[in-house]
Every structure is written in structure tokens, then in C-alpha cells.
Amino acid sequence: MVSEYTEKFSRITEETTRLVEAMDIQDELNIINSILVCQETVLNELLRVVEPANDGTGNAVDSDNTTKTALGSSTRIREAIQIVKQNKASIKDMLTSAERVQNDLKQLLDFKQQQSNAWEMKYSKKLRTGGYSGRLLPLDRGFLNSTVA
């Protein structure tokens, strides 16, 4: 008979659930990362528009050489870009951690599958050779002996 330890070890429900959760977290982190990339692009474009181009005389000009009016302080935009970059770095670290967890869970599931296969082969061999000491085999023999006699 399969021991309670063997049965407990061969159950993979919890690990499979955790693997699905890790994959969901990775998907959500990738979505957040793509949003941050878009924010950074927009902020850089805004900074390019807001920062006046210098015509060499100290006057700010547009690309069509007309005088540019100040649209606001570029300092706040630069700060926002730095925040987005820091957030992207944090998301990258989280993605790396989630990937590591996912790989570890896959490795654990592979190990459990290999162990389960080994136990299955062991018990199959015992059943084929008659060396299985479970309760069903002796009862079957007793039943057959009583019905034949």
C-alpha cells in the first residue's frame, strides 16, 4: 500500500496553484512595465516640447524659428521621469524574483513527477513479482482457494 508520506509527497495541487499565481503576477508586472515605458516616452516628449531650444543668442525658439513661450518648469517633468525610471527598475527586480519563483516551482514539480514515476515503477514491479505485501493480494488468494475447493 502506498504510504501516507508517499501520497502526501505526490500531491502537486498546492505547487500548481502557486505556479499559476506566479505566472499571473508576472503578467501583471509586465502590464505595469509597459505602462511605465509609455509614461516615460510621453514625459520625454513633453520635456522636449517644454524645454526651450536656444538659438545661440539666449532666446528660446521653436523648430520653425519662432520665439517659444514658456510652458512650465521642466524640473518637475525631469523629476517625474526619474520616478518612472525608479519604478521601472523596481518592476524589473520584481519580475526577476517572480521568474525565479516560477522556475523553482517548475523544478519542484519536475522532481515530484520523477519521484512519483520511480515509486510507480517500484510498486508495479512488486505487484508483478508477487512481492507486494498489501491486504488485497492475500484476500484474493484466499477467496480463490475457497471457491476452487
Each residue's pLDDT tens digit in the chain (149 positions)? 456 656 666 677 888 888 899 999 999 999 999 999 999 999 999 888 887 654 444 445 555 555 454 445 788 999 999 999 999 999 999 999 999 999 998 898 888 888 777 777 777 777 777 755 555 444 444 444 444 44
Angle formed at CA 61 by CA 60 and CA 67, multiple of 5 degrees = 90
Number of domains composing the chain = 1
Domain coverage including residue 77? 4-148
DSSP state of 60: E
Q: Grid coordinates 517625474 are at which residue?
A: 80
21: closest CA among 80, 105, 84, 81? 105
Question: Which pLDDT belongs to residue 3?
Answer: 61
Q: What are φ and ψ of residue 60, in 5° steps?
A: -85, 135
Set of cell numbers at residue 111 = 522532481
- List all residues 6 or more positions away from 44 whose beta carbon is below 8 Å from its beta carbon: 81
Question: Which pLDDT belongs to residue 121?
Answer: 77
From the centroid of its chain, how far is CA 46? Answer: 34
DSSP state of 69: P
Is-contact 23 101, C-beta < 8 A?
Answer: no
